[in-house]
Amino acid sequence: MNSVAERFMRYAVVSTASDPDSSTSPSSSRQFDLLKGLEKELIELGLEDVFLSRTGVLYATVPGGISGDVIGLIAHVDTSPESPGEGVAPQLHRNWDGLPILLNKEVLIDPAECADMLRYKGGTVITSDGSTLLGADDKAGVAIIMETCKWLIENPAIRRPKVVIAFTPDEEVGRGVENFDVDRFGADFAYTVDGGEVTEVSSETFNAWSADWSITGREVHPGSAAGSMINAVRIAGELISLMRSEEMPENSSGRDGYDYPLFVKGTTGSAEVKIILRDFTTEGMMKRRRRMEAIRDCLASLFPGSQIELILKEQYSNPGEILKKDRRLVDYALEGMKRSGIEVREGSIRGGTDGSRLSFMGVPTANLPTGGELFHSRREWVAEEGLSIALDGLKNTLIIWGEKL
């Protein structure tokens, strides 16, 4: 195993799932198990100003570097609560033959549904045992940043910018930079290392809003309900049928946005529906929000006497416009990945990262690949060789910053 893969596997076995129902920071105390281990490793490696906040953000500075723009590197320690994350047991598929990998009766990793898997034919693919996710999202990013720190410290002669790092908790529950101290971090620009296939550097994320509905009906015994029952279950059903199926995630790809009804619960008396809206453009997002409001008005007139409340809330925004103002961040990363022998393109994440919010907090942040794919599922995988390409890409990116400063 190369050292970045070994390091990744060491982090992958520590359970760090975040908890969407918790209001504490971090949302689960198990995230400290990894954060404290990383804190110790950073001190041992010789980083400066190592600081683990009470809310679970770990900051550090790599000594050295030339003056000028300070570059930050960020990864998140939590794993997605959408898939089991307790007891991860990484499996190595050495000399992989390019055929589907069967982890157990239910879990099959099919290269046909992965953008970039066949690149690693003959290499070593790392998966879980099929009972949990793997956690390459984002422990692959954590391992890549730790290896980068080690390399920077062992090679003080390399001309490169000042580098600071941060590991965040709770990215997967949308709270990764909730308690992030931009001043303590001290970066002018940053990269999250939280992407997928090595061929993509991302300079855009979705704009994201949530649309939470609460519907109040009127309960009456069904035998005597004529003319008086107002059934919240029916209103919830009508709400979803008024949405456009062609705008839903299963029918959207590329630069399309979507409207995604992801939760319904209800009785005659009351119902709750949760919808999320995603769009790359501001105008597109405005349309989606207006559509929700139009549906609310329509339901109110279809079901007089009901109470229909719609709460629209912004979750994060697309930093694309901010990143366009100074192209260095993205261009150097594209060049850096290219120097590690990869045909790379600039892409848009169909989701969000800590970087979407960080960009709006004054630190323009683009996203670099980790090499992993099929995140948030038991089929998640990363190849040893992918980790090492992603690591080289990041090292080269810092070297390019050093050449240009």
Q: Which stretch binds Zn ion (CB under 5 A): 9-17, 46-54, 98-106, 186-194?
A: 186-194
Active site residue 171: yes
380 binding Zn ion? (CB under 5 A):
no
- Using CB under 5 A as the binding rule, whether residue 373 contacts Zn ion is answered as no
Task: Considering the complex, state which of residue 116 and residue 335 has its C-beta at the smaller distance from Zn ion.
Answer: 116
Annotated catalytic, 250? no
The CA-based angle 275-277-282, given to 5 degrees, is 155
Residue 200 found at the interface with Zn ion (CB under 5 A): no
First to last CA, the chain: 35
- List C-alpha distances in Å: 162 to 45, 144, 169, 240, 341: 16, 17, 24, 51, 25
User: What Cα–Cα distance (Å) separates residue 75 from each residue in 100, 137, 225, 296, 297?
Assistant: 29, 9, 56, 39, 42
Residue closer to Zn ion by CB (options 138, 259) is 138
* E-assigned strand segments in 221-374: 258-266, 270-279, 307-316, 345-348, 365-369
Nearer to Zn ion, 138 or 247 (CB): 138
Residue 113 to residue 166: CA distance in whole angstroms: 32
Query: Taking contact as CB under 5 A, which single stretch among the options 133-141, 154-162, 293-301, 393-401 is the one that binds Zn ion?
Result: 133-141
Closest-CA residue to 175 (of 39, 264, 273, 77)? 77
CA distance 397 to 93: 30
Out of 39, 137, 385, 392, the residue judged to bind Zn ion by CB under 5 A: 137
Shortest Cβ distance from residue 112 to Zn ion (Å)?
24
Q: Are 152 and 63 in contact (CB under 8 A)?
A: no
Q: Does 197 bind Zn ion (CB under 5 A)?
A: no
Q: Which of 147, 171, 197, 204 is catalytic?
A: 171
Q: Which of 147, 194, 279, 335 binds Zn ion (CB under 5 A)?
A: 194
Question: Would you count residue 138 as binding Zn ion (CB under 5 A)?
Answer: yes
Stretch that binds Zn ion, among 6-14, 192-200, 219-227, 235-243 (CB under 5 A): 192-200
Structure tokens at 238: 């009508």
Shortest distance, CB of residue 83 to Zn ion, whole angstroms? Answer: 13
Minimum distance from residue 353 beta carbon to Zn ion (Å):
7
Task: Please identify, using beta-carbon distances, which residue of 138 and 197 lies nearer to Zn ion.
Answer: 138
Any idea how long the chain is? Answer: 405
Binding site for Zn ion (CB under 5 A): 137-138, 194
Q: Active-site positions?
A: 78, 171
